[in-house]
Amino acid sequence: MDLIIRHEAEAEHRIVEELTREAFWNLYFPGCDEHYLVKVLRHHPDYLPEFSFVAELDGDIVGMIMYTRSWLFDEEGSEKEIVSFGPFCVHPDHQRKGIGRALLEHSTAILRKKDIAAITILGDPHNYVPYGFKNGLDYNISDMTGNYPLGLMVLELTDNAFEGKAWKCNQSRVFELDPKQAEAFDKTFIAKEKKHRPSQDLFMIMVRAQLQKSE
């Protein structure tokens, strides 16, 4: 397997959007909007292209990961800038071959060298615990409402990154997409059937699940 991890070229924008659409289609809801997010992200001030990569396998782009700025706020209102990633995907035909691992390990190694304190994401714990991610509750990091979602995952990149404080995590507003604009953008692609899958029900359970602090 000749796998190359590199930055995306401008001429590959549509290819990466098509890959993302294929990977997320009908996964979380009928259809998807992650390919539109890819398009919007590239022109947003919170996008971090220096940490974002595609995976090329034998000449074809089969995976991608995109990073954005995010922030932690402590109890006194002090701010610590960190990062988040997403979309992050591998084409369905190439999953479970170590490509996602290669993308994540390549990008996190670079982030460690840049003294980035941490990565926070909202995702399935099953996918990220093997890479050292823990739930926000383990680091006393909540969402902005003070809750501890099951899917709030944190990877500490520098020692004592959280200084024993309580933090609230805030991601970029770039993730707040306009559904009508996303739908219009999707119509520029080849039509695909939108349908229900069990993964959508699981996703709805996951996003509603909260952890509680031990008494």
* Domain encompassing residue 92: 3-172+197-211
* Residue 183 included in any domain: no
Cβ 211 vs Cβ 150: under 8 Å: yes
Query: Which CATH number fits the domain that encloses residue 105?
Result: 3.40.630.30
Which tokens in the block code for residue 128? 């990220």
Banded model confidence at residue 192, pLDDT cuts 50, 70, 90: very high
pLDDT of residue 115: 86
The count of structural domains within the chain is 1
Q: For residues 148-172, give the mean pLDDT.
A: 95
Is 80 exceeded by the pLDDT of residue 162? yes
Residue 135 in any domain: the answer is: yes
Residue 178 falls within a domain, yes or no? no
Using one digit for the tens of pLDDT, what is the confidence trace for 100-128?
Answer: 999 999 999 999 999 899 999 999 999 99
Residue 113 lies in a domain: yes
Residue 82, domain member (yes or no): yes
Percentage, residues of the chain above pLDDT 70: 99
Asked whether residue 45 is domain-assigned, the answer is yes
Cα angle at 133 between 26 and 211, to 5 degrees? 75
Label residue 164 left, alpha or beta by phi (over 0 means left) and psi (-120 to 50 means alpha). left
The mean pLDDT value for 23-51 works out to 98
Q: What does the pLDDT read at residue 125? A: 95
- Give the pLDDT score at 17: 98
In a domain, 168, yes or no: yes
Q: Does residue 215 surpass a pLDDT of 70?
A: no
Residue 117 lies in a domain: yes
